[in-house]
Chain A
């Protein structure tokens, strides 16, 4: 599984491959159907260092995708600002690559040509083709290069979408639940792939996930989004620095403790604590 490491892009010349991202007092309100406004995000302050992997956790509908879209310039904040490096995020910022929550592949293009869409503009054609072939190999779709999106499974489409985002070789990689539709084994493989790519090209990664274990495995830091129950709009409820270096031992007791805290933060009843049963500190079985 870890043998795929050296295959990651080596052809790319040395250049600034990662940029810091800063959210300052960021808020987003959407127009509500009743004519008013509905606050979704409020007062987000977050500094992401260049090359850092930050996982964003939170309950469904709390604004994770919205935050990511704002970081990529696909949406604009209603208050505050977000900057990549020194410069504020521009609409559809070219420094970012987005892996959307749904695959969003062009149905009339082959998987290969869909991945090629992610290549930076104006690159060498042959190099681009090789890069795409390598990425397809990495995500396990080499045999399906010529297929159309409707001819592959949902999980394969999602891997193609991930490959498309990686093809960009961006300064900031924005991934919205990139492994959501994958089976447990493929999911582990793709997580390792992401780490391998990151090691070869240490880009900044913002990763939305609903899987606490995935966050613990991949991230340097985990940001927990949520509301405080009174004021509308989600803010950062918790920021957790994940100890240790990647790849982490999926079963370590330290991570188990963190996992418990994060699940608490998400309001999930674990080990029966809510039913008055003492929480154990034994290493839990992971649902892999």
Chain B
């Protein structure tokens, strides 16, 4: 009886799902460490940019560096306002973002598809992997002259170049991740009657979700990289064009503006992938 009661107490003190743990009123709440609190994460992440901005302001206004080399933040702001008033800023940002999104969407989707074929099927691997490996070995900028000849300086050539840039990281990472899914788990899945699509959804897909997300992140970064490359080489609008044009006209304030916009846009789009990551991990992993 007493041992029974004792064992029941033990059983009760074993850990349970967090949801069923009630914190008694008045008991000291477990304090989250500083690095786990939301405000600290936000403030902590903003510290360095603010410090950089302050240093920039200081260096440029004290004349330490001539403004022809380093414009002040106010000058860059003025350049932004000026461009915005002429309706160019919004247009450049919009067209660049659109190119990145379209190229990224096509490239990543194709990368997922082909990566899945090569990673899941031995036949697909044999037939496709050598050719894709050879195409991947071509530095992507080598496609530019060909794309311009084929598609002229229109939207297609840029979007295709960006898609090429986004395709290869996704293809490479996804096919490798699928090939390396734990064989013992796959065997367990098969032993319990899973095959084909259900096996993929139960074992392979959840196993590769983290890799897929890293792949998408990398592909998005590549997409911005190739956007600038494409716009630098041949375009009449967009942030890459702004960079090239400003470089030729010596508008260093606009160069700074374009670089800052690229940083902010890149980070914003990456955060979108981050949101998707949170959702996907909750859904699958």
Which A residues lie at the B interface, using CB under 8 A?
A: 72, 74, 92, 94, 96-98, 100, 102, 104, 106, 108-109, 117-118, 120-121, 143, 146-147, 151, 164, 168
B196 to chain A minimum Cβ distance, whole angstroms, is 12
Contact A106 B16 (CB under 8 A): no
Contact A121 B193 (CB under 8 A): yes
A104-B185, A104-B187 known, 6 other contacts, Cβ within 8 Å: A92-B191, A98-B191, A106-B206, A108-B206, A121-B193, A146-B17
Contact B14 A143 (CB under 8 A): yes
Contact B202 A74 (CB under 8 A): no
CB-defined contacts of B189 to chain A, threshold 8 Å: 106, 117
**Please, what's the 1-or-0 string for B193-232, where 1 marks a CB less than 8 Å from any CB in chain A?**
1110000001100110000000000000000000000000
CB-defined contacts of A147 to chain B, threshold 8 Å: 17
Contact A94 B184 (CB under 8 A): no
Contact B17 A117 (CB under 8 A): no
Contact B206 A92 (CB under 8 A): no
A218 to chain B minimum Cβ distance, whole angstroms, is 22
Complex CA gap A151/B188 in Å reads 20
CB-defined contacts of B192 to chain A, threshold 8 Å: 97, 117-118, 164, 168
Contact B202 A104 (CB under 8 A): no
Of B14, B184, B190, B284, the residue contacting A108 (CB under 8 A) is B284
Complex CA gap A72/B193 in Å reads 12
CB-defined contacts of B202 to chain A, threshold 8 Å: 106, 117
CB-defined contacts of A120 to chain B, threshold 8 Å: 193
Complex CA gap A168/B188 in Å reads 13
Complex CA gap A245/B228 in Å reads 80
Complex CA gap A100/B186 in Å reads 13
A106 to chain B minimum Cβ distance, whole angstroms, is 6
B285 on interface, CB distance cutoff 8 Å? yes
CB-defined contacts of A108 to chain B, threshold 8 Å: 206-207, 284-285
Of B14, B191, B194, B206, the residue contacting A74 (CB under 8 A) is B191
Complex CA gap A120/B194 in Å reads 10
Chain B residue with minimal CB distance to A103? B188
20 A-B pairs with C-beta separation under 8 A: A72-B191, A74-B187, A92-B190, A92-B191, A97-B192, A100-B184, A100-B188, A104-B187, A104-B188, A106-B189, A106-B202, A106-B206, A108-B207, A108-B284, A117-B189, A117-B192, A117-B202, A120-B193, A143-B11, A168-B192
A186 to chain B minimum Cβ distance, whole angstroms, is 13
Of B14, B15, B184, B193, the residue contacting A92 (CB under 8 A) is B193
B interface: dominant SS: helix
CB-defined contacts of B284 to chain A, threshold 8 Å: 108
CB-defined contacts of A109 to chain B, threshold 8 Å: 206
User: Most B CB atoms within 10 A — which of A94, A117, A118, A121?
Assistant: A117
Q: Given known contacts A92-B191, A100-B184, is B17 in contact with A106 (CB within 8 Å)?
A: no
Contact B187 A102 (CB under 8 A): no
CB-defined contacts of A102 to chain B, threshold 8 Å: 184
CB-defined contacts of B203 to chain A, threshold 8 Å: 106
Complex CA gap A285/B284 in Å reads 50
B137 to chain A minimum Cβ distance, whole angstroms, is 33
A138 to chain B minimum Cβ distance, whole angstroms, is 16
User: Most B CB atoms within 10 A — which of A97, A102, A106?
Assistant: A106
A187 to chain B minimum Cβ distance, whole angstroms, is 17
CB-defined contacts of A146 to chain B, threshold 8 Å: 17
Complex CA gap A94/B195 in Å reads 12
Complex CA gap A102/B188 in Å reads 10
Mark out the residues of chain B between 68 and 83 whose CB falls within 8 Å of any chain A CB in the assembled complex: none
B278 to chain A minimum Cβ distance, whole angstroms, is 15
Complex CA gap A74/B193 in Å reads 12
A137 to chain B minimum Cβ distance, whole angstroms, is 13
Chain A residue with minimal CB distance to B186? A104
Mark out the residues of chain B between 132 and 166 whose CB falls within 8 Å of any chain A CB in the assembled complex: none
A136 to chain B minimum Cβ distance, whole angstroms, is 13
Chain B residue with minimal CB distance to A174? B191
What are the 10 A-B residue pairs with the smallest beta carbon separation, nearest first? Answer: A104-B188, A108-B285, A108-B206, A146-B17, A92-B190, A98-B191, A117-B192, A121-B193, A104-B184, A94-B193
Complex CA gap A168/B184 in Å reads 19
Contact A143 B16 (CB under 8 A): yes
Complex CA gap A146/B17 in Å reads 7
Chain B residue with minimal CB distance to A147? B17
CB-defined contacts of B14 to chain A, threshold 8 Å: 143
CB-defined contacts of B191 to chain A, threshold 8 Å: 72, 74, 92, 96-98, 100
B282 to chain A minimum Cβ distance, whole angstroms, is 10
CB-defined contacts of B15 to chain A, threshold 8 Å: 151
Complex CA gap A120/B192 in Å reads 8
